[in-house]
Amino acid sequence: MQLRRVWLAELTGLPLTVLCKQETALHLAAVRGHTRVVRTLLAAGASPLLAEPDGLLPVHVAAAAGHLAATRLLLAAAPHTAAAVDAGGRTPLYLAAHFGALPAVRLLLEAAPQAAQMKTQRDNESPLFVAVSSGHDAVVRGARQRLCVFQHRLGPVWEAGEVA
């Protein structure tokens, strides 16, 4: 086990203390955008379905960090995870919109267009709402038409820059 941690520490550049937490090696590679490591781990049988205690899958952290290539690899390995929710009801699309990762938002909208209408359990927020409220105008402009597909039934959709 220690040898495996040392190998992962060298490969990812992460200290051993980080590797002792409840994250999987695939989570660590995904959040750092280490595409080669993600590919190697998936080929070796690492599961893209193992969640952190809060329900985050590797695709959640890759999308939130804006690592498009890692997100794409994880979706290829487990396509249904594009609409997976964590313990708070957040999808990878929601997290990508929240952190302003437009390329990941576009990829996830292609993979799971239904995720545009999914709302968080705690705050009842959609990906469009969180993009607007987080001030990510580029995400709102770049993916507005696709994010708005399901929003028209819920009331007006704000134009980028109209929210203070």
Judged against a pLDDT cut of 80, whether residue 23 lies above it is answered with no
Across 128-141, average pLDDT: 86
Q: Is residue 55 part of a domain?
A: yes
Whole-number Å distance between alpha carbons of 59 and 134: 21
pLDDT band at 143, cuts 50/70/90? Answer: confident
Q: Is residue 160 part of a domain?
A: no
List helix spans (H) across 21-111.
25-32, 35-43, 58-64, 68-77, 92-98, 102-111
Q: Is residue 159 part of a domain?
A: no
Tell which residue, 132, 69, 133, 131, has the closest CA to residue 104. Answer: 69
Q: Domains in the chain: how many in total?
A: 1
- How many CA atoms within 13 Å lie on the side-chain side of 25? 23
**pLDDT, position 144:** 67
Whole-number Å distance between alpha carbons of 87 and 146: 25
Mean pLDDT of the chain: 80
Judged against a pLDDT cut of 80, whether residue 40 lies above it is answered with yes
Whole-number Å distance between alpha carbons of 90 and 159: 23
Judged against a pLDDT cut of 70, whether residue 159 lies above it is answered with no
Domain that holds residue 104: 2-154
Across 7-17, average pLDDT: 48
Q: Is residue 40 part of a domain?
A: yes
Judged against a pLDDT cut of 50, whether residue 15 lies above it is answered with no
Judged against a pLDDT cut of 50, whether residue 43 lies above it is answered with yes
CB atoms under 10 Å from CB of 56, counted, come to 22
**pLDDT, position 147:** 64
CATH assignment at residue 74 = 1.25.40.20
Tell which residue, 25, 35, 96, has the closest CA to residue 65. Answer: 96
Q: Is residue 162 part of a domain?
A: no
Q: Is residue 111 part of a domain?
A: yes
Q: Is residue 28 part of a domain?
A: yes
Judged against a pLDDT cut of 80, whether residue 161 lies above it is answered with no
